[in-house]
Chain A
Amino acid sequence: MAAGMELAVVEEDAATAAAEAVALSRGRIVLRRFLRRKLAVAGLVILVLMFALAFIGPYLSSWNYTDKDYDNFLTGPSASHWFGTTQIGSDVYAQTMRGLQKSLIIGLLAAVLSTGVAGIVGAAAGYFGGWTDRVLMWFVDLLLVLPSFLILAITSPLFHGRTWLLFVILLAAFNWMVTARMVRGLARSLREREFVTAAEVMGVHPLRIITRHLLPNMASLLIIDATLNVGGTIIAETSLSYFGFGVQPPDVSLGTIIADGTDSALNFPWLFYPAGILLILTVMAVAFVGDGLRDAMDDTSGTASSGGSGGAA
């Protein structure tokens, strides 16, 4: 029975691939199209560099982000402190690397988590219809009225003093609704297709239909969405951290570093610019990669507008 389902999926892929070239697999085609887009490749390179910087960077300097140098307060960039020091003698380079690491991990985890939830809930709502569907739409509308920033700021005292993973879960918990709505629309149209009916007739469990037939058929939407979500969650996390609603001291994120450097940005620019530039570069690289993936994976191009019409009030 499992083999039969595999066949259905494979046939789907083969059908789309046949239009482009006969011998190439879908993955190869997407890769080739992606590599042809210079900005997307540049974005990918920047992202890889950012991850390398965030995880290898801390070992290059002898300072740790919690260390304090009591001989150097507010000194500019030098041989021992590459990005200078703060008012209390912390090394800005070590802090920025730690912040980048934190922001990247949180952004990545929350984005993947929220897309996963969106896929499952959206597909369930679209497939089952009825009350499951109504409750989901109610949630989506509510989120439209209550921006997630507001909800997360209000609930922030709940995760103070607890693990940052709780923050990741909350970030994801209020971020999945819009994607779920798109997935729901797709699931509703896929539900009518022959391979789903065939599986139903064979008595396949509904949950198995969702995970084996519906979700693989929307893989490209989910991958693109997860990628673009990474940028969105990084912005959300740093914004919350800027006000102290996110990552809590002594830990740092790019948001808290920028918040600390804001007041002295004019006179002591090294407190502010490294974190700011890294943040913009990271989010922009994610956007380029997501955009490139969308163009590479979409066989019918021109979907940029369909992404916007999903959020109707």
Chain B
Amino acid sequence: MGPFLLRRIVNYLVLITLATCLGYLLAASSLQPREYFSQRQPPPPAAAVNATLTDLNLNDRTPLPDRFGHWAGGVLTGDLGKTIDDTSVSAEMGRRIGVTVRLVLVGTISGALVGVALGFVSAIRQYRPSDHAITFLSFLVLSTPVFLLAVLLKIGTVKINQAAGTTLLPYTNETTPGLAGGWLRHLTDRGQHLVVPTLSLMLGQAALFSRYQRSAMLDVLGADYIRTARATGMRRAPALVKHGLRTALIPMATLFAYQMGLLLTGVTFTEKIFGWHGMGEWFVDSIGRQDVNSVAAMVLFTAVLVLIAGLLSDIAHALLDPRVRV
């Protein structure tokens, strides 16, 4: 398993490098930082704008290869450059990264677990009402873009809170500002804030995983080894879980890695709509501010996270499928 994983890691590092460079070059050639400054009121003198832009390594009069070289040199030493407001990109990223990772982690894990469970139930009770209901609901969720789902959840939460007469489920920001009380109070407060935004990510994940798990499970149900296990006197439930589910989980490992990119797209909407100050919100705001270095940081973050997911799925694949290890 060692050489296999090592080969994957090298492959991933090359991909991260390429993706981040591509991201920077795209951002540097499409965003116009000069406009951000010249639109200020009163408009600053051209010379001052030029000096600031050069200082931030954003001057469009410097050739792109030079700017890229300057940026890449910084990244190699761990310096991601300056934001357009002359603060450190790395520091800003440090503040925001935890927010997004928390959201992604809880969303993926809960989504994958719920999806696999739903798909399993759907498959072993094929064409029963429960299967039809799960299938229809997953189609409905998959047809709803994340931004629409998030807004609908927000409206639903307001209705629930109104019915309950108290703020049962807060839906903006990560914590209640100025909350008094012990750590337990703070923890439950964070937990309450997490529910609705996580749902907006988790539902889509669960729907997708349930579709794939259902068809993978159906493929496995008729397999000879299940019949053999049953013939040895094994009862149906353990046979299905021990021999069926394990095999049917292998394609899910691939889906898990593939899904990460889509999930990170979804996070942008969740953060923006629920007022979480994470990487996704920063990305959208940075494009509006023509902030090249911050956008490149988000690209790096996405690439790293997608490839961590890829690596995890390789490991899961190797654990589930002994053939990969040899």
Chain B contact surface mostly: helix
Assuming the contacts A146-B303, A153-B283, A156-B287, asked whether A272 and B151 have C-beta atoms less than 8 A apart, the reply is yes
CB distance from B284 to the nearest CB of A (A): 6
1/0 per residue, CB under 8 A from A, across B294-326: the answer is 010011001100110010011000000000000
Chain B residues in 8 Å Cβ range of A10? none
Which chain A residues numbered 216 to 275 have a C-beta less than 8 Å away from chain B? 231, 235, 238-239, 242-245, 255, 258-259, 262, 265-266, 272
The docked-state distance in angstroms from the alpha carbon of A309 to that of B257 is 11
Whether A242 and B147, one on each chain, are in contact in the complex, defined by CB atoms closer than 8 angstroms, is yes
The docked-state distance in angstroms from the alpha carbon of A287 to that of B136 is 11
Whether B23 and A146, one on each chain, are in contact in the complex, defined by CB atoms closer than 8 angstroms, is yes
Assuming the contacts A242-B269, A313-B254, asked whether A154 and B31 have C-beta atoms less than 8 A apart, the reply is yes
Contact among A147, A279, A287, A312 for B261, CB-based, below 8 A: A147
Chain B residues in 8 Å Cβ range of A239? 145-147, 265, 269
Chain B residues in 8 Å Cβ range of A284? 139-140, 143
Whether A305 and B143, one on each chain, are in contact in the complex, defined by CB atoms closer than 8 angstroms, is no
Q: Which stretch from A50-58, A127-135, A137-145, A194-202 is at the chain B interface?
A: A137-145
Smallest CB gap from B154: residue in A: A265
Q: Does B268 contact A (CB under 8 A)?
A: yes
Q: Does A77 contact B (CB under 8 A)?
A: no
Smallest CB gap from B208: residue in A: A308
CB distance from A18 to the nearest CB of B (A): 26
Smallest CB gap from A151: residue in B: B26
Q: Does A19 contact B (CB under 8 A)?
A: no
1/0 per residue, CB under 8 A from B, across A151-168: the answer is 101111110000000000
The docked-state distance in angstroms from the alpha carbon of A312 to that of B27 is 28
Chain B residues in 8 Å Cβ range of A147? 261-262, 264-265, 302, 306
Chain A contact surface mostly: helix
Whether A305 and B251, one on each chain, are in contact in the complex, defined by CB atoms closer than 8 angstroms, is yes
The docked-state distance in angstroms from the alpha carbon of A164 to that of B236 is 57
Q: Does A176 contact B (CB under 8 A)?
A: no
The docked-state distance in angstroms from the alpha carbon of A147 to that of B283 is 13
Task: Count residues on chain B whose CB falls below 8 Å from chain A CBs.
Answer: 58
Whether A149 and B142, one on each chain, are in contact in the complex, defined by CB atoms closer than 8 angstroms, is no
Whether A149 and B268, one on each chain, are in contact in the complex, defined by CB atoms closer than 8 angstroms, is yes
Contact among A155, A157, A231, A280 for B32, CB-based, below 8 A: A157
Assuming the contacts A265-B151, A284-B139, asked whether A155 and B16 have C-beta atoms less than 8 A apart, the reply is no
Whether B146 and A304, one on each chain, are in contact in the complex, defined by CB atoms closer than 8 angstroms, is no
Chain A residues in 8 Å Cβ range of B23? 146, 150-151, 154
The docked-state distance in angstroms from the alpha carbon of A158 to that of B269 is 22
Q: Does A185 contact B (CB under 8 A)?
A: no
Q: Does B87 contact A (CB under 8 A)?
A: no
Which chain B residues numbered 105 to 150 have a C-beta less than 8 Å away from chain A? 139-140, 142-148
Assuming the contacts A151-B26, A245-B287, A313-B313, asked whether A145 and B307 have C-beta atoms less than 8 A apart, the reply is yes
Chain A residues in 8 Å Cβ range of B313? 313
The docked-state distance in angstroms from the alpha carbon of A150 to that of B290 is 14
Contact among B143, B255, B303 for A280, CB-based, below 8 A: B143
The docked-state distance in angstroms from the alpha carbon of A23 to that of B302 is 55
Chain A residues in 8 Å Cβ range of B71? none
CB distance from A255 to the nearest CB of B (A): 8
The docked-state distance in angstroms from the alpha carbon of A109 to that of B285 is 29
The docked-state distance in angstroms from the alpha carbon of A242 to that of B144 is 14
Whether B257 and A280, one on each chain, are in contact in the complex, defined by CB atoms closer than 8 angstroms, is no
The docked-state distance in angstroms from the alpha carbon of A149 to that of B302 is 12
Smallest CB gap from B257: residue in A: A313
> Number of contact residues on A: which range applies?
35 or more
Contact among B30, B142, B264 for A155, CB-based, below 8 A: B30
Q: Does A311 contact B (CB under 8 A)?
A: yes
CB distance from A260 to the nearest CB of B (A): 12
CB distance from A143 to the nearest CB of B (A): 8
Contact among B142, B148, B314 for A276, CB-based, below 8 A: B148
Q: Which stretch from B72-80, B192-200, B211-219 is at the chain A interface?
A: B211-219
Q: Does B18 contact A (CB under 8 A)?
A: yes
Chain A residues in 8 Å Cβ range of B283? 150, 153
CB distance from A180 to the nearest CB of B (A): 15
Q: Does B169 contact A (CB under 8 A)?
A: no
Chain A residues in 8 Å Cβ range of B15? 141-142, 145
Chain B residues in 8 Å Cβ range of A146? 19, 22-23, 261, 299, 302-303
Q: Does B64 contact A (CB under 8 A)?
A: no
The docked-state distance in angstroms from the alpha carbon of A279 to that of B254 is 30
1/0 per residue, CB under 8 A from B, across A287-309: the answer is 11000000000000010110011
> Considering the complex of A and B, which 7 residue pairs feature the smallest CB-CB distances, nearest first?
A313-B310, A284-B143, A147-B261, A304-B215, A283-B143, A311-B258, A149-B265
A-B contact pairs, 26 of them (CB 8 A): A141-B15, A144-B306, A144-B310, A145-B16, A145-B19, A146-B19, A146-B302, A147-B261, A149-B268, A150-B265, A153-B283, A154-B30, A154-B31, A238-B145, A239-B269, A242-B147, A243-B268, A279-B148, A287-B139, A302-B219, A304-B211, A304-B212, A305-B216, A308-B251, A313-B313, A313-B314
User: A residues touching B (Cβ–Cβ < 8 Å)?
Assistant: 141-142, 144-147, 149-151, 153-158, 231, 235, 238-239, 242-245, 255, 258-259, 262, 265-266, 272, 276, 279-280, 283-284, 287-288, 302, 304-305, 308-309, 311-313
What 19 additional pairs, Cβ within 8 angstroms, besides A149-B268, A243-B268, A283-B145?
A141-B15, A142-B19, A144-B310, A145-B302, A146-B22, A146-B302, A146-B303, A150-B265, A154-B31, A155-B26, A157-B30, A244-B288, A255-B147, A259-B147, A266-B155, A276-B151, A302-B218, A313-B257, A313-B314
